[in-house]
Structure formats: structure tokens, C-alpha cells
Structure 1
Amino acid sequence: MRAAMNPPNMSELPDRRKGRWQLILILLMVIGPMVLATLMYKLQFWVPDSRSYHGELIGDGQTRADIGVQADEQRWQLLVTAPTACAADCQQLVYLARQLQIGLGRDASRASHALASAQPLSTDYDAKLKAEYPQLQRYALDLSTFGKNAAAPGDAQLWIVDPHGNLVLRYDATVKGKDLLNDLRHLLKLSNIG
């Protein structure tokens, strides 16, 4: 009983203050990075200027349907779009898409290649595709939808599409195959889907 009547020991007070400071520091360590990241995003400061990809990043949630292609592919896809006749640039991109899929080696089954054209192909090129590109998927390209999309220019393009149908990167006909292959390998390495 006598111990309960004694006033609290003064040596306990600094321990409480120390504990409060520790709690505040822990909360700052947890919440601080989130607040900093949000401010960096909103105010656009300390954002790196460099990038590790070679194409144009499509990071606004657009899908194949937004560029006029109706497809249900569940793998990564190298999609060539041809809003006009599939001329030399388009044919080069179709060839490049097939070579890239082959170049993936053991990951080749995780990707496919496709051509979406707005106009019928010439009979010679159509026969060549059937004979030499048996795995090439072919789709119709809806020009009215394609024309409404600001990210879709009027010439042949090659798009990397993820397994959910989202557009990831876009390349024009001047792309180097090695750069595109490096981008695709990097995406497949980071991805758990497809």
C-alpha cells in the first residue's frame, strides 16, 4: 500500500518523451516517402529525364480497341497497324515483328505478332503472308476509330500490346530491331502476366 501512495518517479518521464519521439519518427518514415512521392508527381520535380525504352510510351490506359482493332489475344503482342495500303514500311514492320518473336528464344511463346490493315492486301503479299508467316494473326483496322486517336499517326506503326490489351509502346518504321527487342525483353522480364 505504501508504494501506491508515493509520487511517480521522475526518471519515468524522459522515457515517455523518448517513446513519443520514436513513434513520431516511425510515422514520418512510413508516411514521409508517400507524401514526397505524391508531391513529386503533382509538382513534377525530381522526375528523371532519362528513359530506358526506345519507343513512344503509351501510358494513358488506351487499348487495342481505342485504335480500331478488335482482338482477344492473351499474350504480349507485336501489332502492326496499316491505315493505308501495306507498302514497304508496313511490310518491313511485319517482317520485324516476326523476327522479334523468334528472337525472344525461350520466351517466344509469351508473345505473338499480328497485322491490322484497313485495306485489303495485294494478292501477292497476301499469298506470301500465308506461306511464310503462318502464325501471323490478321485483323481488320477500323479507320474511323483509328483516325480519332491522337496517338495513332497515319502511317504504318508497330505497337507492343500487353496481355490485357493495353497499348504499351509505339514505334514507327525507322525503329532498329535490336532496340525493340531489348524493350520487349525488358517488359517480359518485369511482367508476371502473359
Structure 2
Amino acid sequence: MDKQHRKNRITILVIFAMSVIPFGIAWYLAKHPGTVRLGTNHGELISPPLATEVGEFSGADAFSAENIGELKGHWILVNPVAGPCGEICREALYKTNQIGLMVGKDIARIRRLALVFDSNLPLPAEWRDDGRLLKALPAPSLQQKLTTINPSPLPDGSLLIMDPLGNLMMKYAPGYDPYQVRDDLSKLLRISQIG
């Protein structure tokens, strides 16, 4: 009889634990949401996405002014350029070119954009030879919106991804791995119903 009571008590304790422990875990995760990283993306999601308009971008040269409409309906790899384009900036632009080549057949769905914040800076000579790189100046309204992503100017070498509807939705820190960006971009292109 004593053995049967012990088994019953253990059964009751197990049932009690099975009903209480999940609520305890859920409460802990609600209080500490950063504990578990959800998703498989490598970049940082911009939440909520930052909506932009094509009119907030103006071409920094004749080629870009003529083709600025390409920003609509395409996935855009945006390289912010706050000052003179040094080694970090050049490396980031090279990486976005390589990412475009790595996506293979989806290359037609992607555009590259150098977002130049200082209109007085001369554009580097190699930019003129790059027929796939758009150069744009942000409108003051766009510069104001970008402060919600990063209070200080976006650092050279960073990367933003803009969806075909003009929403800035993902960002990468300087020194990002182009293979990780390619993986994220490939997933976006695969599931996208737009662009």
C-alpha cells in the first residue's frame, strides 16, 4: 500500500510539473525576449521597416538621374557613403557587386545604390566605369528617417537592403560577410511575391 501511495504522489507531481513548467518558461521568455534568437537571417531586421519614396533619392550624376526609376520594383543593396570613399567604402561597394554576381539568375531583380550624403564630394573615377551602380543623394526627409535606424550617420562600409516597395528592411554592420548577405538575399528573393 505504501508503494502505491508513493507512485500516486510521483504521478501527481509529474502532472503538476508538466502544467507549471511551460508557463514558467513562457513567462521568462516574455520578460527576456533577447534570450532566444529567432530566425535564420544574418543581418539585423529593421523593425518596423523604414518606408521611402523614389522622390527622396536624386541622381548624383547623369547616369543615376536618368535611371533613378530603377529603384522601384527591384531589391536594392544600399551602401551609405558619409564622406570621401576610402578603403572601407570601396571594399563594401566591391562586396555588393560580388553579391549581385553570386545570386546568379536573380541578378536582374537586384540594383546597387551608393547613397552619398555630401553633394560636394567628387565621385571616384571607378564609380563612373560601373554601369550597374546608381549614385544618389538623399532628400532631407530621408536623412531624417535614417536617424531612426542609426542616430549618428550610417557608418561607411555598412549595408542596407531595400525591398521593391521602397522599405529599408535589413541592415548589416561594416565588415559584413558577403556570403551571409547572399544567403539572406537568396531567401528573400525565393519567397518574394514582389520584384
Which TM class, normalised by the smaller chain length? 0.5 to 0.7
Per-residue displacement from partner, 1:123-180 (whole Å, max 9, x unpaired)?
A: 5x2x21111x111111013467525613134212211100000011111221011111
CA contact (8 A) 1:114 1:136 kept: yes
SS in 2 for 1:57: strand
Tell me the equivalent position of 2:20: none
Residue 138 of structure 1 aligns with an amino acid whose one-letter code is: K
Tell me the equivalent position of 1:176: 177
In 2, the alpha carbon distance for the partners of 1:97 and 1:160 equals 11
CA contact (8 A) 2:78 2:114 kept: yes
Give the C-alpha shift of residue 122 in structure 1: 3.9
In 2, the alpha carbon distance for the partners of 1:192 and 1:146 equals 29
Residue 81 of structure 2 aligns with an amino acid whose one-letter code is: A
Tell me the equivalent position of 2:148: 150
CA contact (8 A) 1:58 1:168 kept: yes
Residue 96 of structure 2 aligns with an amino acid whose one-letter code is: A
Relative to the length of structure 2, the TM-score reads 0.66
Residue 91 of structure 1 aligns with an amino acid whose one-letter code is: R
* Identical positions, percent: 24
Tell me the equivalent position of 2:128: 130
In 1, the alpha carbon distance for the partners of 2:167 and 2:128 equals 27
Unpaired runs of 5+ residues, structure 2, are 1-25, 59-67
Tell me the equivalent position of 1:88: 87
Residue 94 of structure 2 aligns with an amino acid whose one-letter code is: Y
Relative to the length of structure 1, the TM-score reads 0.66
Tell me the equivalent position of 2:194: 193
In 1, the alpha carbon distance for the partners of 2:110 and 2:95 equals 14
Q: Paired residues, what number?
A: 149
SS in 1 for 2:100: helix
Per-residue displacement from partner, 1:89-123 (whole Å, max 9, x unpaired)?
A: 22211111111111110011111111110124445
Residue 191 of structure 1 aligns with an amino acid whose one-letter code is: S
Tell me the equivalent position of 1:51: 39
- CA RMSD in angstroms comes to 2.8
In 2, the alpha carbon distance for the partners of 1:45 and 1:170 equals 26
CA contact (8 A) 2:83 2:121 kept: no
In 2, the alpha carbon distance for the partners of 1:101 and 1:111 equals 7
Distance 1:82 1:144, change over 3 A: farther
Structure number having the greater strand percentage: 2
SS in 1 for 2:169: strand
